[in-house]
Amino acid sequence: MLQKIYPRSKDKETVYLKSVITNPNIIVGDYTMYNDFVKEPKDFEKNNVLYQYPINQDKLIIGKFCSIACGAKFIFNSANHTLSSLSTYPFPIFFEEWGLDVKDIIKAWDNKGDIVVGNDVWIGYEAVILAGVTIGDGAIIGARAVVTKDVPPYTIVGGVPAKQIRKRFNEETIDTLLKLKWWDWSKERISKNIAAIQSGNLGYLL
């Protein structure tokens, strides 16, 4: 769907990310928003998605209705230096200097895969998400956390490296929410259920 850039007419610090992304390897769902009071929020893919070089074809996939706070960073595979070598020095990057084949440049780093963020995820101020991480639906990433491992759905994590603080709901409620997938409902149905969603009472949704 086509969306406006600014969710609020008088707020130029908050954008719908899907409307400002041009990189085909960054895929963002509807209504996911990014706020930046330091830099231009429309420059998210330049300032916040780091080391995502085309040679890797690694992807950043973010679901619907996510809230991403100022300064959050997504750091991709090219930021890594290989650990399987006897040296961490990235010789293949400097192929001209060392007479190496340019096609072997990706041997300079370890490739851990895409970054996948589920739906309704809240990523706090200046949090860092590393390559290969999957964040489940409904999760919360604390401010300045460094996420090195997958985060289960509806789990709050924080710290360096990020560790589980607690689950947001009991397992029965989490299972029901994952089956409901309210973020896939029509705008009209969501509008009718906003009060129920905000109430925190799952029974009002059913």
Q: In the structure, what pLDDT confidence band is assigned to residue 200 with cuts at 50, 70 and 90? A: confident
81 is a catalytic site residue:
yes
Is 2 contained in some domain?
no
Q: In the structure, what pLDDT confidence band is assigned to residue 34 with cuts at 50, 70 and 90? A: very high
Dihedral of the CA atoms 94, 99, 102, 104 (nearest 10)?
-90
Mean pLDDT across 121-143:
98
In sequence order, the β-bridge partners of residue 129 are 74, 147
Of 81, 107, 167, 168, catalytic: 81
Beta-sheet pairing, 155-158 with 134-135: unpaired
CATH at residue 140: 2.160.10.10
Closest C-alpha among 10, 17, 56 to residue 35: 17
Give how many domains the chain has, as a whole number: 2
Share of the chain above pLDDT 90, in %: 89
Q: In the structure, what pLDDT confidence band is assigned to residue 40 with cuts at 50, 70 and 90? A: very high
Q: What is the rounded CA–CA span in Å between residue 161 and residue 149?
A: 9
Other beta carbons within 10 angstroms of residue 7's beta carbon come to: 14
Is 47 contained in some domain?
yes
Q: Are residues 154 and 67 in the same domain?
A: yes
- Structure tokens of 144? 């300045």
Closest C-alpha among 62, 193, 81 to residue 139: 62
Sequence-distant (6+) residues with CB within 8 A of 98 are 91
Domain range for 179 is: 170-206
Q: Are residues 81 and 112 in the same domain?
A: yes
Q: What is the rounded CA–CA span in Å between residue 18 and residue 78?
A: 24
Global confidence as pTM: 0.93
Q: Are residues 47 and 143 in the same domain?
A: yes
Among 2-6, 101-105, 120-124, name the one with the lowest average pLDDT.
2-6
Q: Are residues 115 and 85 in the same domain?
A: yes
